Amino acid sequence: MALEGNQKTDVCRKIPKQDFVDIILEKYEGQKGALIPILQQVQDLYNYLPKVTLEYVAEKTGVPISSIYGVVTFYSQFHLQPRGKNIIRVCQGTACHVRGGKLILQKVEKELGIKAGHTTDDLRFTLETIACLGACGLSPVMKINDDTHGRLTEDDVPKILAQYK
């Protein structure tokens, strides 16, 4: 169906968790420069930024959807795809690389059945690589949520992952 004139799309339809999104939007109503905190809080609500919710935010704030996508795709903190309950970051920095970080990453990928940059189908894990976790003395190292696991061997990986299932 083509839109005519100033006809708006039906973005204001009911979206999941809309009451919570409305509370976030009300908190920042009329404030310039509030888009990033709005998006951060919406992402905290869903664990990613669903397209329909971004359209809703655009409609309610008057910020063009293209501008919202510009912000969301510029900052690496924002995610457009569902993410797992547990975020695994495997360090690939120099110290970790020299001490077997690639082998740790490969073992995690094998255990979860996904490659870095992906999320398991059950949404339990998202696997990412990171240039440096800043824990070189513990290399090779990975972080799961806020927990740092260091001096890893391939044999450690299954036992560590089991703690988060």
Total-model pTM: 0.79
Q: For 43-61, how does the pLDDT look when each residue is reduced to its tens digit (9 = 90+)? A: 999 999 999 999 999 999 9
The three-state secondary structure class of 78 is coil
∠ CA 120-124-128, rounded to 5°? 60
Do 145 and 92 share a structural domain? Answer: yes
Choose among 148, 136, 127: nearest CA to 98.
Answer: 136
For residue 164, the SS3 value is coil
pLDDT digits (tens, 9 = 90+) for 112-147: 999 999 999 999 999 999 999 999 999 999 999 999
Same domain? For 47 and 91 the reply is no
Domain count within the chain:
2
Quote the domain boundaries for residue 34: 18-74
